[in-house]
Amino acid sequence: MQLTIDPRIVAMYPSLCIGVVIARGVDNRPGGAAAELLATRTAEVRYSLGASPLGQHPRIIPWRNAYSAFGAKPSKYNCSVEALLRRVQKGDVLPSINPLVDLYNSISLKYVIPAGGEDLAKVEGDVTLTFATGNERYIGLNSDLPDNPKAGEVVYTDARDVLCRRWNWRESDKTKLTTETREAVIVLEGLAPVTREEIAAATGEMAELITAHCGGACVTRLLDAGALSCGL
């Protein structure tokens, strides 16, 4: 099983760097301190953000530009980290979902980068970050209704389905992380001005948090224009 970036993606977004954490043998049942970490991080970020306009944040602007480039209106479709930050800025309490999700949301908030994850046991074949043809199947998170992508949209796919629409806007229900998840892949995504070194740091920290809070063993990889694929 491989995770691959379509070369056309890095041709269009040359600064893209993706940190990959492959975790196996994890215990994703609630009960640990991951939820507390997320609550602490939420409070810190709410204080630091204040009332600053998110649309002008230097780490949000590149994602808004990326969404516009593939035809998604960024004011309607927020990248995952902008959506998180908007909830935090409004004073919402980010709910604890399960430890893996809580941990990647904590890292997403800390570094202001999109993060997401898939249950590897539910992935069919290789995973590719690519441009949609418009014919792929997609069932959104906590839904049973098809909502297929538009042609040209950036998506993660496996051999059968779209796993995430509009790059990092919404995960699929098929591979969502649950309390039953025992093996997972987490991706942390950066566009300039986020550097490769920052993605490497976030990826290492994510792996350490998973091991500390969920047990198991983690392997990390970095993907960019110089390394488009890794094993899962």
Q: What is the pLDDT of residues 95-132, one digit of tens each?
A: 999 999 999 999 999 999 999 999 999 999 999 999 99
Would you say residue 145 has pLDDT above 80? yes
Q: What angle do CA 109, 6, 116 make, to 5 degrees?
A: 25
pLDDT at 50: 85
Find the mean pLDDT for residues 181-192: 98
Q: Is the peptide bond before 193 cis (omega within 30 degrees of 0)?
A: yes
In sequence order, the β-bridge partners of residue 186 are 21, 117
Question: DSSP E strands: which ranges in 29-92?
Answer: none
Q: What is the pLDDT of residues 189-214, one digit of tens each?
A: 999 999 999 999 999 999 999 999 99
User: What are the DSSP calls for 74-88, one per residue?
Assistant: TTTS--HHHHHHHHH
pLDDT at 130: 98
Find the mean pLDDT for residues 172-190: 97
Percent of the chain residues topping a pLDDT of 90: 92
- Give 117's DSSP letter: E
pLDDT at 52: 87
- Give 134's DSSP letter: S
pLDDT-based confidence at 143, cuts 50/70/90?
confident
Domains of the chain: 2-231 (3.50.40.10)
Q: Which amino acid is at 27?
A: D
**Residue appearing with tokens 């479709």:** 77
Cα 218–chain centre separation: 17
Poorest-pLDDT segment among 21-30, 140-149, 183-192, 204-213: 140-149
Find the mean pLDDT for residues 51-67: 95
Strand, helix or coil for residue 7: helix
pLDDT at 5: 98
pTM of the model: 0.96
Percent of the chain residues topping a pLDDT of 70: 100
Would you say residue 160 has pLDDT above 80? yes
